[in-house]
Amino acid sequence: MAELTTLDFDAPIDDVLAALHRDGGVIVRDMLSEDGRRAIVDDLSADFGAAAPGSKSGMELWETFHGANTIRFCGLAARSRAFVDHALLNPVLAAVADRELLPGCADYWLNTGQVMAVGPDEPAQYLHRDENNWPEAVKPDSEVTVSCMFALSDFTRENGATVVVPGSQSLPPGLVRGHEVVDAEVAYSEMSAGSGMIYSGKVIHGAGANTTDAWRYGMHVSFVSGWLRPEEASPIQVDCATAAALPERARQLLGWSSYHSEGGGRIWLVDFEDASRLFD
């Protein structure tokens, strides 16, 4: 069986990137402090209890992808200030996103901040690539999205730790919806609560099967190039009044500012001015 590299949160960013480029994913211990992790869980505890498992899409493909006994919900910046402070603005994830995404864009923004709680007896998710959300934008030599799966509880092979196919980020671009592998080809992102698994938009991966009688609590945070439309409509969920109380960088990541192309135009404007002026 393959293994992902595990590093400490204060490891040099070049070491994090070297492991990411080699395997497509890297585990970083203690990306969330214990206080930060507990604050996020406390903020979201009522939402965990209120959310129903499964997809409401009515589409068989997405119902299969989401899982019948997996709870998902978004809008985390509107639900938890601790999410903003410890996950959205996480310095390790930001350093990786800067290095991976900024060569192809003037800035990036939140693709989605999403709880993924995998319930007992949930089968493994089919393997996929995150960059396939934007097939028109995919290029073999550059990233349009980068993600981190934060462990809000311990991740083990038995309870559904994310499955990664190391090296698959180097395979030719193309749609992946299911990928045949043997055990020797995959790694399980087994990690302690508070750790994060940072991974490429190109790497083939998916949630593992939960064969236990307990829930596995994870939180997926991903960024996407600023010229692409993200999965999550953050400004609809995080209203102007809520955004006004957040740090400027958080507002930018949540879509409450405009995008200025280098050598090009400006987009996502309000009355033809930068959306950030709403907070002047």
Q: Assign 57 a pLDDT band (cuts: 50, 70, 90).
A: confident
Q: Do the domain assignments include residue 59?
A: yes
Query: Look-up: residue for tokens 């550059």?
Result: 142
| DSSP letter assigned to residue 142 | B
Q: Do the domain assignments include residue 37?
A: yes
Q: Do the domain assignments include residue 248?
A: no
160 alpha carbon, distance to own chain's centre: 16
Q: Do the domain assignments include residue 1?
A: no
Do residues 194 and 151 lie in contact, with contact meaning Cβ atoms separated by under 8 Å? yes
Query: Look-up: residue for tokens 């102007």?
Result: 240
Q: Do the domain assignments include residue 146?
A: yes
**Stretch 215-237: mean pLDDT, rounded?**
97
Structural domain harbouring 84: 6-231
**Stretch 188-201: mean pLDDT, rounded?**
98
Name the H helices within 200-258: 234-237, 240-244, 248-253
One-letter amino acid at 220 equals H
Do residues 59 and 36 lie in contact, with contact meaning Cβ atoms separated by under 8 Å? no
Alpha-carbon span 173 to 19, nearest angstrom? 20
pLDDT tens digits, one per residue of 65-121: 888 899 999 999 999 999 999 999 999 999 999 999 999 999 999 999 999 999 999
Name the H helices within the chain: 13-23, 34-50, 60-66, 76-79, 81-83, 91-101, 234-237, 240-244, 248-253
Our count of domains for the chain comes to 1
pLDDT tens digits, one per residue of 22-54: 999 999 999 999 999 999 999 999 998 899 998
**In the beta sheet, which residues pair with residue 55?**
none
pLDDT at 9: 97
Computed over every residue of the chain, the mean pLDDT equals 96
Q: Assign 196 a pLDDT band (cuts: 50, 70, 90).
A: very high
Q: Do the domain assignments include residue 253?
A: no
Q: Do the domain assignments include residue 242?
A: no
What is the pTM (predicted TM-score) of this model? 0.96
Q: Do the domain assignments include residue 61?
A: yes
Query: Which CATH number fits the domain that encloses residue 182?
Result: 2.60.120.620
Residue 23's φ and ψ, nearest 5 degrees, are -110, -20
**Stretch 119-142: mean pLDDT, rounded?**
96
